[in-house]
Amino acid sequence: MGIIEQYQRLGVKDIAGHLGLHPFDVIRVLAARGPLPEDLAFEESEQERIRGESGLEVWWTPGRRLEADSVHARGVLRSMVRELVARKIVAPRATRVDNLWRGLEDEDERIARRAVNLLLQEQFLKTVSSRLGIMVTVPADKVEALERIAAGTEMPASLAALWLAS
């Protein structure tokens, strides 16, 4: 390691901030490799390694548009469901729960978090525990219903709480 690299080593907090993860999530990734190093300071290249190992994905890159909908929260929900279906996050395949909203604007992220709660309660989504944290997956028998939700042709009344409450 070069002198400057060594001087500029990153802490867990720096890596978490850059990747949009919680530091505890970074620790879980590191712990999956074995005991933590004696010094929790890392080279910059470590960031990309952790990104890969964590299963982190950015679904909402700048410019990626949400579904046009006369009700904004419904548009966020439909967009998220569309991504879940398009990315084939169907059991047994799962994705980090925070992938569902990573990259969204703050307000849309809040809506997305509430939407995930509702989808879980209505069993359109299921949680899967993993060494990297909470993952979610779509039960196979819910895929068609979610496709209709994404297309806007069907909207269960239970999910309307998302925009009726706000």
Partner 1 sequence: MAKKDGPAGPRLTTELEAIEKWSADEQDRLRKRLSGLDEEEGKFRQQLALIDKKLQENLDQRKKVAEELQRIPKAVLDRQHEALLRSVQAEREMVAARAGALGALQEARQKEIQGLLEDPANKEAIEEYEKFREVEPMLATLPGGYRRVLLDHHEEIKKVLEPVFAALEGPLPKVDGEVVEVAIVGSIDPVGGVPAAIAFVFPVGYEVCRSWSERPEDLSALLAYRGLGAICGALGEVNAADAPLSWRESDGALSVEILLADYKVGPEIKQAMEAALLSAYARAHEFTAARVAVRLFWVDPDVLVPEEAGDGDGVDQPLPGISKPVQVVLRRGGSSEW
> Does residue 91 interact with partner 1 by CB under 8 A?
no
Distance CA 115, CA 83 (A): 14
Q: Which of 90, 120, 145, 161 binds partner 1 (CB under 8 A)?
A: 120
DSSP 36: P
Helix axes 46-54, 23-33, angle to 10 degrees: 90
C-beta of 97: minimal distance to partner 1 in Å? 5
C-beta of 125: minimal distance to partner 1 in Å? 9
Give, as ranges, the residues between 16 and 35 that touch partner 1 (CB under 8 A): 16-17, 22-24, 27-28, 30-32, 34-35
CB 124 within 8 A of CB 132: no
Distance CA 114, CA 92 (A): 24
> Who's near 11: CB < 8 A, 6+ residues apart?
40, 41, 42
The site for partner 1 (CB under 8 A) is made up of: 2-4, 6-7, 11-13, 16-17, 22-24, 27-28, 30-32, 34-36, 38-40, 97-98, 113-114, 116-117, 120-121, 123, 126-127, 129-131, 133-134
